[in-house]
Chain A
């Protein structure tokens, strides 16, 4: 899924990982027991989840009309459905656009939205056929056809659109991720106005079926973005009000980083949609607020929804005195990436030493403690199938990852293996002259950076901290490969859909590395890992598939490309009368299901 815009707010899911899909709770016993594991660890730590807000839809109690008010600390990164890959952006994109399939607040299996039924997978998983509904209208009055869906895919492979997942999730014959135009793709055919057929380079059909829930599959009028997509980045993103919409809402006004207003899309047909009720007449979103102020304001209000998680201090206040306005749901994982391509962490033993020296318990506390997660030991997290196969909470028991508060003895062992007998680093650095740590400047980003810094300093590494706005962190540092940032400690990931492929491919496969908008922050490119992920993705038998991904997870942990910090839960706060409905797959509000009352 997406990068979690986790950094926005302390305690919770603020991570800005690329959007990831579903909550992954459906299809395997592993998943459900994983979820149980997560909640039981909360209760054993003295935290009780009883009395929290009910964030499920309640049609009998929700009313149509009115204005839904949203507040957040961070603004939006990409509202172009072809580029959108952040958790917070998805709130808007899924309310204004219509992908082929979607998850809903009550279902974690893909439901046909623009599609008229489930995808047909044939040819051993190498052909996927989708039929779309007839009569769906664009906001400009045009009718949606299969050619418009094809255009959406052509855009995703235009590198100017800067899509972060197309190459990984849509291995379509003839697709060229290095294209700089909206070029036709030979592997996509549209035999009629309501049918689109995808021919794949490998038996990837079952995985791709889940990926058809991603926003990039939303229909865009064929040819309408040709001019905009010639620029790099595409200018279709810079003025969202000029887009064409297929969802229940459309963007009426937009000020980057500040405000956004959605109004009803008159061309949208509720009956044809069949899924999204769209209660509110208008949605007003103010961004750029101080997270602490925004959280307090939300708790004191009747009608506000806060799109980021609250800072730890307010989280405590919400838990102790306004529990009915607080919700917690499984989210994803936070980790501190270690750049594997530049010194000093291009050395495996130094990476293991860095992991061993880390106090991951302190990191969890900085995010808000056991209410919002528990210490991680590997990269498939509790709500993703395959978690139990990967060892569950204990993981694979590597010595450098076994001590949540850090173990300097183990760290020293790896320092010696790296050639530093005094357990202190005395070697060289890259272009920055020290280990450059870049993270979000919004709490708990600065705290997280200092916690990671503390562990590295203990091993003698010279460190420099740079706290920047979230968007800058992604666009100019951590997501920009040539920046060669050594450590990005506020990284996070949510799976795009409930499958371990979505949890591992984009963050850790070398095949997913892109020069800009990159989500493989460690820039890990281990051929063995790449192959293990690819092979696992081709397995259709679920148990065998999850076992194979668990093995890939172990290989990634053995490569030590990142410090797995916290398996996170997302806490959100809302006003006392507003009815906020959570999307478990996005771990944030669903604007089409939430209502002002």
Chain B
């Protein structure tokens, strides 16, 4: 059996915190792998704090509109319309320069008088949406092709592995810039399939990041396919697809979870980079990368416009990385011992 509830007998030195059983009233209580995982993960305080941050971020992104209204700042795409006017209402000075953090605009404003806090909150929507969806597609493609490559080996493995190498060597940034430029007008390219914006961003990021997972999964499958239970399943007449689905895939859950959590922050940065270069979401939609790009020319006089979206990006990526580390430790407690 490859998966399921089990009684885990650990060496004596591991019985204190990691025991899969406890004596309760003199009886042995079994713990499922999920429970074991959660116990280990929960004991990692850094990972828990990071996870909490991510959950809050997701909630903020989902409920961006009501939260912005609750805070009482102007919307993300609403230029300040009270200029020139009273200083308390006008977000731009006499030279059209943005004002810094204030009670009216806690994170200051940008050069159009738009509230930076609101744009940071709405920017989280773009970053998380693009990162999650593109990572999901990358995982789907990477796991599928990696499993096929590792399982069948031979010419199938060679073909798929070389294909992954080609994709990894491809200059994705240049491709994305070229795509945005070529398909920016009218109905875009390929009959409207490709136009600059969120959808194209998701596709580009997914296509660029799936080989990382594909190679890792391929390596795992190469190892798993030699296990006895695989041989047993084969001797019982199981088809290749059944073996991949029912025997191999369940054993890939741990590495999939871990590496997904590590690809996510990379894709968040990727989205920010593409937006910085102007090939991501289009104005006036708020995006952290685009805000950082806009801020770079006025940093000397409007530090807040760079600092707050930059900090949001850094904290988000850090949180995902720390959660990924925590998952890795929790799913593979023997690593590093």
Contact = CB atoms under 8 A, between A and B. Distances in A.
B is bound to A: yes
A555 to B, nearest CB: 31
A370 interface: yes
A436 B185 contact: yes
A450 B284 contact: yes
Most chain B beta-carbon neighbours within 10 Å: one of A45, A359, A364, A431: A359
B185 A464 contact: yes
A313 B284 contact: no
A451 interface: yes
A315 B97 CA distance: 10
Nearest to A442: B297
Given A366-B96, A465-B283, A433 B112 contact: no
B79 interface: yes
A368 interface: yes
A241 interface: no
B65 interface: no
Contacts of A46: 94
Contacts of B284: 450, 453-454, 457
A202 B97 CA distance: 50
Contact of A312 (B82, B97, B282): B97
A367 B184 contact: no
B60 to A, nearest CB: 25
Contact of A364 (B80, B96, B300): B96
Contacts of A365: 83-84, 92, 95-96, 113
Given A366-B111, A369-B95, A432 B297 contact: no
B112 A366 contact: yes
Interface in B173-212: 184-187
A255 interface: no
Interface string B69-99: 0000000010111111000000011111100
A3 B159 CA distance: 58
Nearest to A296: B300
Nearest to A47: B94
Contacts of B294: 446
B301 interface: yes
A359 B94 contact: no
A326 B83 CA distance: 25
A152 interface: no
A359 B97 contact: no
Residues of A contacting B: mostly: helix
Interface residues of A, number: 44
B94 A443 contact: no
Interface string A423-450: 0000000011100100000011011011
B85 to A, nearest CB: 9
B132 to A, nearest CB: 26
Interface in B248-307: 278, 282-284, 294, 297-298, 300-302
A466 interface: yes
A313 B301 CA distance: 7
A462 B297 CA distance: 29
A67 B78 CA distance: 48
Contact of B94 (A371, A405, A447, A449): A371
Looking at B81, B111, B301, the one whose CB has the most chain A CB atoms below 10 A away is: B111
A292 B297 contact: yes
B254 to A, nearest CB: 45
Nearest to A406: B81
A332 B284 CA distance: 29
A336 interface: no
A446 B83 contact: no
A316 B186 contact: no
A406 B80 CA distance: 12
Given A406-B81, A464-B185, A362 B95 contact: no
Task: Kindly list the 4 A-B residue pairs having the minimum CB-CB distance in the complex, ordered from nearest.
Answer: A365-B96, A316-B95, A313-B301, A369-B95
Interface of B: 77, 79-84, 92-97, 111-113, 184-187, 278, 282-284, 294, 297-298, 300-302
21 contacts: A290-B297, A292-B298, A312-B111, A319-B95, A362-B81, A362-B112, A365-B83, A365-B95, A365-B113, A366-B112, A369-B92, A369-B94, A371-B94, A405-B82, A433-B186, A436-B185, A446-B283, A446-B294, A453-B283, A464-B184, A466-B185
